[in-house]
Structure 1
Amino acid sequence: MFDFTAAEDDLPSSVWELGIYDAHCHPTDNYKRLAEALGIIDISKLTIMATRLDDQVKVRDAATQYPERIVPSFGYHPWFTHLLYTSPMPPESKYHHYRSVLLPEPPTEFMDLLPDPVSLSSFIEILIENIETHKNALVGEIGIDRSFRLPKSGKLISFEESDTDDSSSASSEVVNGHNSSDTKKLSPFTVKQEHQTEVLLAQLRVAAKFRRPVSVHGVQAHGILYEIFSRLWTGYSVPTRRQKKKEKEEQKFVKLDMEDGTPKSGNDQLPFPARICLHSYSGPPDQIKLWTNRKLPAAVYFSFSILINSRYGDKFKQVLRAVPDDRLLVESDFHMAGKKMQALLAEIVKFVCEVKGWELDQGVRTLGNNWRAFVYGTDDL
């Protein structure tokens, strides 16, 4: 596991000037520090993720205030999906709801700690409003997490207005969203996969409708996520030259730009987003070929952070080598903008370039082109 306190930014200013982009981060967890941090960091743009109801407005406000530095991403993280009910009508009680979405069935004493759930439909209305307001916004962080367990306190940890600055000696457990004491006090309760999937699909429909890229969280769920997207792709593919010549009608084909997956002809509504990022990808190297098959009607990218992915050792290097050069992104996945975030991004850039055998300038240009292709559908500025 990488010691984030040892992260060092020793990249020359000339390299930062080429453009280095953070594909996934959470600095609105410390919103008051964001403005000051943007004045001292060299990161070209931050792709900022929303995760729950109370931070959608923070991501929106940050993007409105700093449009040149921030690309917003609005979504509902799988860790928080138990707080949503998906039925058309409100549940009989919060106890009825939590018994239906948590495994094993929680006791009343635990459910007493949990708030009343809100409707998925009300969140989707908020999501659509934010997506319509911000023309370059992504949908994320969304996904499936089969390993996450709710804390015994019933409260998920937030760093909102933390007194800890970005140069502190906090542990890696803090970096990843939990303080050390609460990390050790996990309940046995998990959110049913079916419930997580329902919330995920609702958000994917929004991304598809507005043709926005998505940032996807997957833990112990890589096969499941591939199955979910495969079902959405059913009946769609990039036609081969032979198929184009024969003009076969049995299969519906969507003509897509092979670089970024954006539809180039026709006005048919696609049932899936054209561009997908599997953030901090931790799946097996051999599965990458499935996600990057050039016949798929979507472009799938893989983003990596030194904080998360370094724990996988040699497997991480194997994964990096397996990812096509034009589908690779870098991220900090850090909760606070500032010099520590910049150092973490510098570390992953250096590591990727070393494993890929890229010269630093070449690697930074490649990663920058990839980020622009993922976010905007083009490598143009």
Structure 2
Amino acid sequence: MCGGESATARVPLPQAEKGSNDFPWHLGAIDTHCHPTDMMSSIASLPTMRTRVLIIMATRSEDQDLVEQVGVQHSFSDRAALATPAVGGSTVTDKIVPAFGWHPWFVHHLYDDTGNGTSTYDAASASTEEGKREQKEKHYSAVLTHKPDAAFIASLPDPKSLSSYLAETRNRLAGNPLALIGEVGIDTMCRLPVAWTEADHLRRNQELTPGGREGRALTKHNVEKSHQVRILTAQLRLAGELGRAVSIHGVQGHGLLHDTLASLWKGYEKEIPSRRKQKRVALGAEDFSSSDEESDASEEWDDGPQESDDKVEIILDAPKKKQKQKPYKPKPFPPRVCMHSFSGTKEVVTQYLKPEVPVRIFFGFSTGVNLSGPSAEKSRSMEEKFVEIIKLVPDDRILIESDWHTAGEEMDYFLEHMYRKVCNIKGWTLEAGVAQIRKNYEEYIFG
């Protein structure tokens, strides 16, 4: 959800849970994806929210500065801060980790001038009003499906260069060492809303940050997949260069999304030892470990593409020394990714969990996207799929989101609802579930 969308109805907690005080907020509940800057008046509620940390997403030109501003005002800095609980009635100001990204709903606003293909906009030819109009029509005609007419194109903003956006984002990330790239991704189902009318402007909620859909009817126009991939790839490469986590939106395009990521990590896949090699190592190294955590940590700091090598180093039992963390070495892909409000199949989960994948993939879930269908029948179907996916995803790869657009009680409410759902499916107590998700969050943010 982004851009002031509020398609999700308030989903009630089960009757037995309403009004209960048993949720362990004091253990540090985390919201790994939300959009409170869509309603800036709600930001005043942040310090008294029970959620300990919120990762807030930027999506388009109108909210990049807002996310940065809120991130500075309510900056969350380190693991130690998680020990300070945020419970009802208290005031905790260090709550926000910002994420800067260009959402697939709005990527048509960007033109690719990075030299990775034929540009759809020539800035040099846009020095006059006539030239600017011609270049604008050229760009939108190229990146939108069902060629739009001149009137619709005129209602759209002047395109912004991808290079300038990436430079701005690089500067924002430099100012916050924990900041993420997000919300980015691929959405093959989204359609652009109709142009604003004067009457629409008069009726709109002035508290909403401009630039969103705000319930307008939808046109037949979508953004060409190739353009979505180009903009996403550029943002993923930036995350890989700077070693930042990414929050990814994927709707009806999970295969294309996987292929895009895989194209970036090609040549960096982890080497999977043969059975013979594993046996040889095991015989000579009693404390040899191939756990995901240790393997992922080592891959994040390696020098480059992996090459097959039959040589096996036999590690003899020796006193363990605490090793100093090496400086991050840039790669063409991000070290950690969350599939936000994951809606893919079990097969997609299995693809991302293959041991050779060099990216640590997490899966986020929200009530609004994962459990709210347009009908009771659809909701039941979604819940059945949701249960299957939660059971399949490893305990240490689950993240929980509100994906809500206003800070305050509702955001806490949706977060608690999803925590309860996941804990019930996993067979966790609430205390164990909150503790596990917090641990996952730390791995996702800090690495």
Fold-level similarity (TM above 0.5): yes
CA contact under 8 A between 1:9 and 1:347: conserved in structure 2?
no
Partner of 1:87: 113
Partner of 1:73: 99
Distance in 1 (CA, whole Å) between partners of 2:105 and 2:249 is 10
Helix, strand or coil for the counterpart of 2:27? coil
Q: Identify which range, 324-333 or 107-116, moves more after superposition.
A: 107-116
Q: Is 1:273 matched up with 2:334?
A: yes
Helix, strand or coil for the counterpart of 1:231? helix
Gap change, CA 1:32 and 1:261, over 3 Å in 2: farther
Distance in 1 (CA, whole Å) between partners of 2:74 and 2:176 is 12
CA contact under 8 A between 2:270 and 2:299: conserved in structure 1?
no
- Which is higher, the Rg of structure 1 or of structure 2? 2
Counterparts of 1:27-38 in structure 2, within 5 Å, are: 27-34=36-43, 36-38=44-46
Q: Identify which range, 203-212 or 25-34, moves more after superposition.
A: 25-34
- Deviation string 1:200-255 (CA, Å, 9 cap, x unpaired) is 11111110000000000000010111111111111112233456989xxxxxxxx9
Q: Is 1:235 matched up with 2:267?
A: yes
Helix, strand or coil for the counterpart of 2:341? coil
Helix, strand or coil for the counterpart of 2:155? coil
Distance in 1 (CA, whole Å) between partners of 2:254 and 2:144 is 21
Helix, strand or coil for the counterpart of 1:329? strand
- Tell me by how many angstroms 1:160 deviates: 6.5
- Deviation string 1:63-92 (CA, Å, 9 cap, x unpaired) is 111112000100100101111111363274
Work out which of the residue numbers 263, 266, 269 in structure 1 matches 2:300: 263
Work out which of the residue numbers 395, 398, 408 in structure 2 matches 1:338: 408
CA contact under 8 A between 1:320 and 1:355: conserved in structure 2?
yes
Gap change, CA 1:197 and 1:9, over 3 Å in 2: farther
Q: Is 1:293 matched up with 2:354?
A: yes
Same amino acid, percent of matched pairs = 36
Partner of 1:189: 221
- Tell me by how many angstroms 1:258 deviates: 3.1
Q: Is 1:56 matched up with 2:64?
A: yes
- Which structure 2 residue ranges, 5 or more long, are not aligned? 1-6, 76-93, 115-121, 127-133, 282-291, 304-327, 374-381
Question: Which amino acid counterpart does residue 307 of structure 1 have in structure 2?
Answer: G
Distance in 1 (CA, whole Å) between partners of 2:158 and 2:110 is 9
Partner of 1:44: 52
CA contact under 8 A between 1:9 and 1:343: conserved in structure 2?
no
Gap change, CA 1:11 and 1:221, over 3 Å in 2: farther
Distance in 2 (CA, whole Å) between partners of 1:82 and 1:178 is 14
Q: Is 1:106 matched up with 2:148?
A: yes
- Deviation string 1:282-307 (CA, Å, 9 cap, x unpaired) is 01122211101222111000000001
Counterparts of 1:364-379 in structure 2, within 5 Å, are: 364-377=434-447
Gap change, CA 1:305 and 1:160, over 3 Å in 2: farther
CA contact under 8 A between 2:47 and 2:95: conserved in structure 1?
no
- Deviation string 1:92-113 (CA, Å, 9 cap, x unpaired) is 4211111010001111121121
Gap change, CA 1:115 and 1:265, over 3 Å in 2: closer
Partner of 1:6: 12
Helix, strand or coil for the counterpart of 2:113? coil
CA contact under 8 A between 1:106 and 1:189: conserved in structure 2?
yes
Question: Which amino acid counterpart does residue 195 of structure 1 have in structure 2?
Answer: H
Gap change, CA 1:29 and 1:3, over 3 Å in 2: closer
Partner of 1:222: 254
Question: Which amino acid counterpart does residue 139 of structure 1 have in structure 2?
Answer: I
CA contact under 8 A between 1:142 and 1:215: conserved in structure 2?
yes
- Tell me by how many angstroms 1:47 deviates: 0.3
Partner of 1:15: 24
Helix, strand or coil for the counterpart of 1:95? helix
Helix, strand or coil for the counterpart of 1:152? coil
Question: Which amino acid counterpart does residue 62 of structure 2 have in structure 1?
Answer: D
Question: Which amino acid counterpart does residue 357 of structure 2 have in structure 1?
Answer: L
Gap change, CA 1:159 and 1:85, over 3 Å in 2: farther
Question: Which amino acid counterpart does residue 121 of structure 1 have in structure 2?
Answer: S
Q: Identify which range, 281-290 or 267-276, moves more after superposition.
A: 267-276
Helix, strand or coil for the counterpart of 2:32? strand
Partner of 2:289: none
Question: Which amino acid counterpart does residue 80 of structure 1 have in structure 2?
Answer: F
- Deviation string 1:178-216 (CA, Å, 9 cap, x unpaired) is 544x2xx21000000101111111111110000000000
Distance in 2 (CA, whole Å) between partners of 1:159 and 1:302 is 33
Question: Which amino acid counterpart does residue 409 of structure 2 have in structure 1?
Answer: K
- Tell me by how many angstroms 1:265 deviates: 4.3
Question: Which amino acid counterpart does residue 28 of structure 1 have in structure 2?
Answer: T
Distance in 1 (CA, whole Å) between partners of 2:298 and 2:182 is 18
Gap change, CA 1:97 and 1:178, over 3 Å in 2: closer
- Which structure 1 residue ranges, 5 or more long, are not aligned? 164-176, 247-254
Gap change, CA 1:116 and 1:179, over 3 Å in 2: closer
- Deviation string 1:40-60 (CA, Å, 9 cap, x unpaired) is 211010000000112111111
Distance in 1 (CA, whole Å) between partners of 2:206 and 2:432 is 37
Distance in 2 (CA, whole Å) between partners of 1:98 and 1:128 is 26
Gap change, CA 1:301 and 1:241, over 3 Å in 2: same
Question: Which amino acid counterpart does residue 263 of structure 1 have in structure 2?
Answer: E
Question: Which amino acid counterpart does residue 17 of structure 1 have in structure 2?
Answer: H
Distance in 1 (CA, whole Å) between partners of 2:9 and 2:39 is 21
Question: Which amino acid counterpart does residue 234 of structure 1 have in structure 2?
Answer: K
Q: How many residues align?
A: 352
